[in-house]
């Protein structure tokens, strides 16, 4: 062992490398014994994470490994206990998972997603958002993490309009931003797994193995070339949506920060393209820039005219075959409802899916009776509540199928 201040020798560095490699190999065996689908590719990625210094912070390493090795909901649920028992030598209290359906879960207007799968996706995504927050601050005890998850669960199930304490509002905004990052990480991994080629390219395999006498030692797999998922978000910033705008802006900021393929627009009596402002790394600076762009926010809503402007000036540039247009609005149209119907029909022809998030769907006794909502419904692939963080997280299973 070298004295303090003396650089380690090559032999010492090799010994450390062997110890780390042995520890990692044992951990991979432990995961396989627990029914995790872990192969050589995941092992190489894990070694790369350790080489990048992730092992210096257990919380950061746990989060990185959890994203890497957990391919199923069951994996997410049991990973933390396995990690802490193996790497930290202790057991932790099980995390509190969000559960239960949002209000009006059986509303016939909600279509395009199985509620039970949405609830499972929402629970695991919000739980992971709370986990990332713990890892980003400092290493806590098991009880501390459980308390943090429980607090996140309470805020996740609270209607945005009922959050009055500034501290709770700030925390809800922070969770919304983390939720967007977690959703992007998981959607990216699922998309890559789906696009990873498994079909054998026979012609290229033969050509590559000519030097081996034609014996197919090295296989060449075909890869499907698909366009990445793109999100286009249209947020209603009218007065009737003012109670929800702050949380949605934080969520959109997190989405645009993580999604390379994303665009954002605000609308009220007119349409404003706000992607550049929302891509500011600093959330507060982004909101400051946004306030200068969104003049007239808080007034009435002309959804049809705003969609007409979007279809005419922006749709050809921002929409491709794998685009999901997400409209966040209560559907109160102060303009021409017939115009809204026509523009929704034109928009549906361009994009892959239209998701309409209506915060009022979480209210007891609500039915989509507003003229604007009725005109839009025939062209909407999914109508869902968006009054809590949990309802936002429930979108992930749907987006993963696009």
pLDDT for 163: 74
Q: What is the reported pLDDT for 106? A: 40
Last residue of a domain, which of 92, 126, 160? 92
208, 212, 217, 218: CA torsion to nearest 10: -20
Looking at residue 60, what DSSP letter applies? Answer: H
Domain termination residue (choose one: 224, 239, 274): 224
**Is residue 1 domain-resident?**
no
Q: Would you state the pLDDT for residue 296?
A: 58
Do residue 341 and residue 394 come from a single domain? Answer: yes
Judgement on whether residues 166 and 271 belong to the same structural domain of the protein: yes
pLDDT given for residue 95 in this prediction: 37
Give the full edge-to-edge strand order of the sheet including 382-385.
271-273, 262-267, 230-236, 323-328, 353-358, 382-385
Q: Are residues 113 and 186 in the same domain?
A: yes
Burial of 169 (0-12, 13-18, 19+ CB in 10 A): middle
Report the pLDDT value the prediction gives residue 375, as an integer from 0 to 100.
Answer: 94
With contact defined as beta carbons under 8 Å apart, do 261 and 279 qualify?
no
* Residue 184: closest CA among 247, 285, 253: 253
Identify whether residues 136 and 206 lie together within a single domain. Answer: no
- Asked if 220 and 258 sit in the same domain, the reply is no
Kindly state whether residue 397 falls inside one of the protein's structural domains.
Answer: yes
Q: Do residue 156 and residue 204 come from a single domain?
A: no
Q: Is 4 contained in some domain?
A: no
Tallying the residues shown for the chain, one arrives at 402
Q: Give the span between the Cα atoms of 272 and 102, in whole angstroms.
A: 31
Contact 372, 341 (CB under 8 A): no
Q: Do 310 and 178 have their domain in common?
A: yes
CATH code for the domain in which residue 321 is found: 3.40.50.410
Q: Give domain status of residue 201, yes or no.
A: yes
By CB neighbour count within 10 A (0-12 exposed, 13-18 middle, 19+ buried), where does 317 fall?
exposed
Q: Are residues 136 and 81 in the same domain?
A: no
Contact 374, 101 (CB under 8 A): no
Q: Are both 149 and 231 inside the same structural domain?
A: yes
Within a domain: 5: no
What is the rounded CA–CA span in Å between residue 51 and residue 66?
A: 17
Let me know whether 181 and 284 are in one domain: yes
Number of structural domains in the chain: 3
Q: Which residues contact 340 (CB under 8 A, 6 or more apart)?
A: 303, 304, 307, 333, 372, 375, 376
Same domain for 204 and 340, yes or no, is no
Q: How far is Cα of residue 226 from the mean position of the Cα atoms in its chain?
A: 20
pLDDT of the chain, 402 residues: tens digit per residue: 444 555 556 565 566 677 778 888 888 888 888 888 888 878 888 888 888 777 778 888 888 888 888 877 778 888 888 888 888 876 544 333 333 333 444 443 333 333 444 455 555 566 666 555 544 444 444 444 455 556 667 777 888 877 777 777 777 766 766 666 666 666 666 555 555 555 677 777 778 777 777 666 777 777 666 667 788 999 998 888 888 887 788 778 877 766 668 899 999 888 999 888 887 777 677 777 776 666 655 567 899 999 999 999 999 999 988 898 999 999 999 899 999 999 999 999 999 999 999 998 888 888 888 889 999 999 999 998 888 888 877 877 777 666
Dihedral (Cα; 338, 395, 314, 342), 10-degree rounding:
-10
Examine the domain organization and report whether 15 and 118 are in the same domain.
Answer: no
* pTM, 2 dp: 0.58
**Residue 309: predicted pLDDT:** 96
The pLDDT value recorded for residue 244 is 85
pLDDT in tens, 114-173: 344 445 555 556 666 655 554 444 444 444 445 555 666 777 788 887 777 777 777 776
pLDDT at res. 92 = 44
235, 382, 384 from 357: Cα distances, Å: 10, 8, 5
The domain boundary residue, chosen from 64, 92, 120: 92
Whether 97 is in a domain gets the answer no
Domain containing 158: what range?
102-195+227-402
Closest CA to 30 of 84, 92, 95: 84
Position 2 in a domain? no
pLDDT score, position 394: 80
> DSSP per residue over 314-380, as a string?
THHHH--TTEEEEEE-----SS-HHHHHHHHHHHHHHSSEEEEEEGGGGSTT----SHHHHHHGGG-
The answer to whether position 163 is within a domain reads: yes
Task: For strands 262-267 and 271-273, give the pairing.
Answer: antiparallel
């Amino acid at each position: 062992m070298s004295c303090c201040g003396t650089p380690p020798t090559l032999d010492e560095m090799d010994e450390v490398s062997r110890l780390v490699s042995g520890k990692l190999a044992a951990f991979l065996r432990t995961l396989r014994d627990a029914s995790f689908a872990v192969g050589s590719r995941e092992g190489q990625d894990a070694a790369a994470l350790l080489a990048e210094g992730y092992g210096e912070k257990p919380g950061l390493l746990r989060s990185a490994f959890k994203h890497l090795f957990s391919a199923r909901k069951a994996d997410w649920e049991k990973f933390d206990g396995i990690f802490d028992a193996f790497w930290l030598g202790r057991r932790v209290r099980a995390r509190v998972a969000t559960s239960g359906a949002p209000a009006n879960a059986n509303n016939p207007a909600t279509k395009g997603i199985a509620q039970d799968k949405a609830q499972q996706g929402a629970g695991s995504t919000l739980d992971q958002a709370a986990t990332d927050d713990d890892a980003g601050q400092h290493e806590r005890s098991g009880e501390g993490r459980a308390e943090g998850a429980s607090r996140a669960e309470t805020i996740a199930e609270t209607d945005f309009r009922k959050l009055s304490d500034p501290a709770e509002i700030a925390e809800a905004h922070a969770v919304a931003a983390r939720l967007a990052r977690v959703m992007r990480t998981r959607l990216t991994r699922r998309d890559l797994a789906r696009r990873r080629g498994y079909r054998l390219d026979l012609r290229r395999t033969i050509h590559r193995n000519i030097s081996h006498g034609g014996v197919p030692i090295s296989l060449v797999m075909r890869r499907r070339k698909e366009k990445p998922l793109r999100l286009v978000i249209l947020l209603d910033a009218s007065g009737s949506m003012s109670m929800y705008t702050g949380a949605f802006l934080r969520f959109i900021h997190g989405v645009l920060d993580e999604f390379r393929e994303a665009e954002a627009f605000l609308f009220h009596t007119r349409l404003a393209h706000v992607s550049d402002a929302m891509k500011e790394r600093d959330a507060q600076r982004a909101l400051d820039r946004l306030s200068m762009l969104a003049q007239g926010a808080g007034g009435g809503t002309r959804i049809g005219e705003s969609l007409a402007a979007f279809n005419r000036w922006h749709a050809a540039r921002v929409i491709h075959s794998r685009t999901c247009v997400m409209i966040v609005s209560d559907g109160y149209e102060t303009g021409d409802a017939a115009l809204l119907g026509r523009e929704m029909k034109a928009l549906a022809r361009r994009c892959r899916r239209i998701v309409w998030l209506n915060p009022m769907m979480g209210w007891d006794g609500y039915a989509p009776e507003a003229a604007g909502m009725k005109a839009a419904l025939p062209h909407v692939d999914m109508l869902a509540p968006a009054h809590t963080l949990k309802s936002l997280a429930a979108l992930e299973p749907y987006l993963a199928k696009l």
